[in-house]
């Protein structure tokens, strides 16, 4: 018997209403109704009587409710003992600064709903490491931006975003509909840290002269533009401080926000994290 179906049945039995049970399970009503019918077909009995106010348990349904509660409780005890014997499970997630909110508010929260006993830690990395700790082995999975040297890594696309030129609101280009980065001769660009992948540097650099100390965070980059009139590249939906605007870059390929992990031999927790947060995504 599928434990998932048994779990669905138990929630409907508690709520006495398929719609309320579906909302509690964060699913729509039709697949939940199909799951209940599948369980009834498997057992060869009717479990619920439908009425105008919801559903009531049949005699067979009452028996299954009692037995299901015992089975599901035993399964939970089994899972806890297995995890305890293996040691406290943990997962480490890396992110670049502009993706940290997405990790904390959506991705990790979604994963922890499925794995409440797993200790999840999030590490934020600066622009000196485009892989957000993945290549160095500091983290298990990372939320990163293309392009970078991805040998030995697997990736999944989470979002695609256009890139633009960040300038001050009083810059002569601030009102342009779009610009071509390769035609911006004479502009001074922020200095990105030495060491990142060449592909990453080439994509995020303007190609012109740079000035000042290397910026290591997104905010340092934006402040260099704001205070010193430099130029920088960023996703067009980047949250900007007052006084800055972003002009779409016509000659920059769309940037991909990626979930990345080391290829081969990764743990069940990593596989579960990837499945959980990339539902509906596309392999990169």
CATH of the domain at 170: 3.40.190.10
Task: Collect all residues with Cβ–Cβ distance below 8 Å to 242 and sequence separation of at least 6.
Answer: none
| Sequence-ordered list of residues with C-beta below 8 angstroms from that of 281, at least 6 positions apart, any chain | 156, 157, 158, 259
> Strands 90-96 and 119-125, how do they pair?
parallel
Residue reference for tokens 């990105």 = 192
Q: Of 106-110, 118-122, 168-172, 201-205, give the lowest mean pLDDT range.
A: 106-110
- pLDDT of 219 reads 81
Query: What is the pLDDT, as a whole number, of residue 149?
Result: 87
Mean pLDDT of the chain: 85
CB proximity list for 254: less than 8 A, separation 6 or greater:
160, 161, 162, 163
pLDDT greater at residue 138 or residue 279 = 138
CATH of the domain at 13: 1.10.10.10
**Range in 24-28, 40-44, 66-70, 72-76 the model is least confident about:** 72-76
pLDDT of res. 102? 62
Domain count, the chain: 3
Same domain, 44 and 175: no
Asked if residue 24 has pLDDT above 90, the reply is: no
Q: What is the pLDDT of residue 281?
A: 40
CB atoms within 10 A of CB 244: 19
pLDDT in tens, 215-249: 888 888 999 999 999 999 999 988 888 999 999 99
The parent domain of residue 267 ranges over: 90-160+256-283
Give the chain's end-to-end CA distance (angstroms, integer).
36
Domain identity same for 173 and 238: yes
Q: At what angle do helices 3-15 and 29-43 cross, to 10 degrees?
A: 110
Q: Are 186 and 243 in the same domain?
A: yes
The rounded distance, in Å, linking the Cα atoms of 63 and 198 is 65
What are 48-84's pLDDT values in tens digits?
A: 998 888 899 999 999 999 899 888 878 866 765 675 5
Q: 120 vs 270, which has greater pLDDT? A: 270
Q: Give the per-residue pLDDT at 284.
A: 37
Backbone torsion region of residue 137, taken as left when φ is above 0, otherwise alpha when ψ lies between -120 and 50, otherwise beta? left
Q: What's the average model confidence in pLDDT over 5-10?
A: 92
249 and 173 in one domain?
yes
């Amino acid at each position: 018997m599928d434990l998932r179906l048994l779990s669905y049945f138990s929630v409907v039995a508690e709520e006495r209403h398929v719609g309320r049970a579906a909302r509690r399970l964060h699913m729509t009503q039709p697949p939940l109704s199909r799951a209940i019918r599948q369980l009834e077909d498997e057992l060869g009995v009717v479990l619920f009587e439908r009425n105008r106010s919801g559903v009531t348990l049949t005699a067979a349904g009452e028996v299954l409710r009692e037995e299901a509660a015992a089975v599901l409780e035993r399964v939970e005890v089994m899972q806890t003992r297995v995890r305890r014997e293996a040691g406290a499970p943990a997962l480490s997630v890396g992110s670049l600064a502009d993706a940290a909110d997405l990790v904390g508010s959506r991705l990790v929260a979604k994963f922890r709903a499925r794995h409440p006993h797993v200790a999840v830690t999030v590490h934020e990395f600066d622009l000196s490491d485009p892989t957000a700790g993945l290549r160095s082995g500091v983290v298990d999975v990372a939320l990163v931006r293309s392009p970078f040297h991805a040998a030995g890594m697997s990736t999944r696309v989470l979002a695609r975003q256009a890139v633009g030129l960040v300038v001050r609101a009083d810059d002569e280009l601030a009102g342009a509909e779009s610009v071509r980065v390769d035609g911006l001769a004479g502009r001074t660009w922020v200095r990105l840290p030495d060491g990142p992948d060449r592909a990453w540097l080439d994509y995020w650099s303007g190609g012109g002269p740079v000035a000042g100390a290397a910026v290591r965070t997104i905010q340092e980059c934006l402040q260099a533009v704001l205070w010193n009139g430099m130029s920088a590249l960023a996703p067009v939906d980047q949250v900007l401080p007052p006084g800055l605007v972003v002009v779409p870059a016509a000659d920059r390929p769309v940037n991909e926000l990626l979930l990345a992990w080391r290829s081969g031999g990764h743990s069940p927790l990593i596989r579960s994290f990837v499945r959980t947060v990339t539902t509906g995504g596309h392999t990169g």
